[in-house]
Amino acid sequence: MSLIVQKFGGSSVANAERVYNVARIVTDTYAQGNNVIVVVSAQGDTTDDLIEKAKEINPNPSKREMDVLLSVGEQISISLLAMAIEKLGYPVVSLTGWQAGFMTDSNHGNSRIRRILTERLDNELSKKNIVIVAGFQGLNKYDDITTLGRGGSDTSAVALAAVTHADKCQIFTDVDGVYTADPRLVKGAVKLDEITFDEMLELATSGAQVLHNRSVEMAKKYSVNLEVLSSLERKPGTIVKEVVSVEKMLIKGVARDDNVARISVLNLPDTPGVAFKIFSLLAARKINVDIILQSIGRDNTKDISFTVPLDNMDLAVQILNDNLSTFGGSKVVSDDTVSKVSIVGAGMQTHSGVASKMFEALSEARINIHMISTSEIKISVLIDRADSAKAVNAIHDAFMPAK
Ligand code: ASP
Ligand code: MG
């Protein structure tokens, strides 16, 4: 007998019909003789709606109270799904995150799971119950409700699969797997049968919105057997694993991230310690810096440009302006009309010419590159946001010609 963790996202449980659809997938899995733990997200746009409701009351609520509010969405889903499964005649119990033993740190709104106390879970499984767990939520050491960050239910599911040594963790969503590009954007995008953890992680952090990036990190760390598949069609999805059987494709995906802004600090002194001062100020405020570019020094000055998440731009500019005299630049400029486009593929480690092929595609599409960054398995460029859809298509065509 196997233990299977199945996670269903918000669109998969958006209404009564979808809840029943999920109930049937779960009970079919159970009827095949498996133990099943199910993790669900809040229905449809519930989390966004709750955020709106909060803003009506207080534009700046404490993060603790936000977590109390947002955790409600998942609690609605677990009870409704449990009721549907009851109706289908199967033994079931729903558990909130804390009932399921999720202990987190106290970083409200973006908490990390510290450990999972599995006693209750084990108990319910031994009673042969299907266990439905609320994703995205936990409890800190002061017994306060916490949430794991937007999209965090994926991480709840992978964490449960890891602690229970589940045989597999299936992430059901409204697409049938991981694609070489967003199929809504690129006509010729194809579904991947397999992808490595590292590639999936790079894609997830580059703007592909299939899996929460922390869930991929965790799946890799604990070797969780992960599959992304559709809740609407019963067919195999994409398997995410350490090594894929045959490396057929040079590039696994092209991703676009519009949630970026570029900041430049001009005329900095060309002396040691300047970058340290700038980035430590940003780090202290938990602003994540991505691509960094420093110009060659001339006349003892240099410029440093970097990208930050769009919603951190104003804060970053303010911090830098407030501290301009401590590192000695002349001016801070920002640009919120840029996008990051990335290609990801383990194959590029052993092949040359991948970057030039990407740049050629952009050049032929007459798209200007502002910044470039690379890792072993990823190349990212910063371009004008207005060009980003065209860029993704041009690059995708270059690497994955239509069959
Ligand atoms: N409901 C939460 C969100 O919308 C968590 C999740 O969907 O995974 O971000
Ligand atoms: Mg969601």
Which one is predicted more confidently, 299 or 9?
Answer: 9
Q: Whose CA is nearest to atom 6 of ligand 1?
A: 151
CA-to-CA separations, 48 to 10, 52, 154, 226, 258, in angstroms, rounded: 11, 6, 17, 27, 19
Q: Are 17 and 54 in contact (CB under 8 A)?
A: no
pLDDT of residue 338 exceeding 80: yes
Of 51, 69, 71, 153, the one to substitute when testing ligand 1's pocket (max ligand atoms within 8 A of C-beta) is 153
What value does the mean pLDDT of the chain take?
95
- pLDDT of 255 reads 96
Percent residues over pLDDT 70 in the chain: 99
Closest CA to 208 of 223, 218, 193, 195: 195
10 lines ligand 1 (CB under 6 A): yes
Angle (CA) 207 9 31, round 5°: 135
The Cα–Cα gap between 3 and 401 comes to 40
41 lines ligand 1 (CB under 6 A): yes
- pLDDT of 246 reads 64
153 lines ligand 1 (CB under 6 A): yes
399 CA to centre of ligand 2 in angstroms: 31
Neighbours of 218 (CB within 10 A): 23
Segment 197-219 mean pLDDT: 92
Q: Which atom of ligand 1 is nearest to the CA of 148?
A: 5
- pLDDT of 210 reads 87
Residue length, the chain? 403
Segment 269-293 mean pLDDT: 94
221-245 per-position pLDDT tens digit: 999 999 999 999 999 999 999 987 6
The Cα–Cα gap between 148 and 104 comes to 8
Determine which helix (DSSP H) or strand (DSSP E) holds 221, and give its type and residue range: helix 213-221
CA-to-CA separations, 35 to 157, 161, 234, in angstroms, rounded: 15, 12, 20
365-398 per-position pLDDT tens digit: 999 999 999 999 999 999 999 999 999 999 999 9
Quickly list DSSP for 261-300: EEEEEEEEESSTTHHHHHHHHHHHTTPPP--EEEPPPBTT
Q: At what angle do helices 313-322 and 274-284 cross, to 10 degrees?
A: 130
Segment 196-206 mean pLDDT: 93
64 lines ligand 1 (CB under 6 A): no
pLDDT of residue 51 exceeding 90: yes
pLDDT of residue 403 exceeding 80: no
89-147 per-position pLDDT tens digit: 999 999 999 999 999 999 999 999 999 999 999 999 999 999 999 999 999 999 999 99
Q: Residue 402 — very low, low, confident or very high, per pLDDT cuts 50/70/90?
A: low
- pLDDT of 250 reads 85
310-335 per-position pLDDT tens digit: 999 999 999 999 999 999 999 999 99
Q: Whose CA is nearest to atom 7 of ligand 1?
A: 151
- pLDDT of 247 reads 62
Lowest mean pLDDT among 44-58, 121-135, 181-195: 181-195
172 CA to centre of ligand 2 in angstroms: 12
Q: At what angle do helices 354-364 and 388-399 cross, to 10 degrees?
A: 130
The Cα–Cα gap between 25 and 55 comes to 37
Residue 190, exposed/middle/buried by CB under 10 A (0-12, 13-18, 19+)?
middle
Quote the radius of gyration of the chain (alpha carbons, Å). 23
51 CA to centre of ligand 2 in angstroms: 13
Contacts of 229 (CB under 8 A, 6+ apart): 170, 171, 172, 173, 176, 177, 235, 236, 237, 238
Residue 398, both tokens: 């270059």
pLDDT of residue 1 exceeding 60: yes
Phi/psi for 221 (5° steps) reads: -60, -40
CA-to-CA separations, 26 to 6, 49, 163, in angstroms, rounded: 8, 27, 20
136 lines ligand 1 (CB under 6 A): yes
Q: Which atom of ligand 1 is nearest to the CA of 150?
A: 9
- pLDDT of 30 reads 98
47 lines ligand 1 (CB under 6 A): yes
Q: What is the maximum alpha-carbon separation in the chain?
A: 78
Which one is predicted more confidently, 260 or 352?
Answer: 260
- pLDDT of 401 reads 66
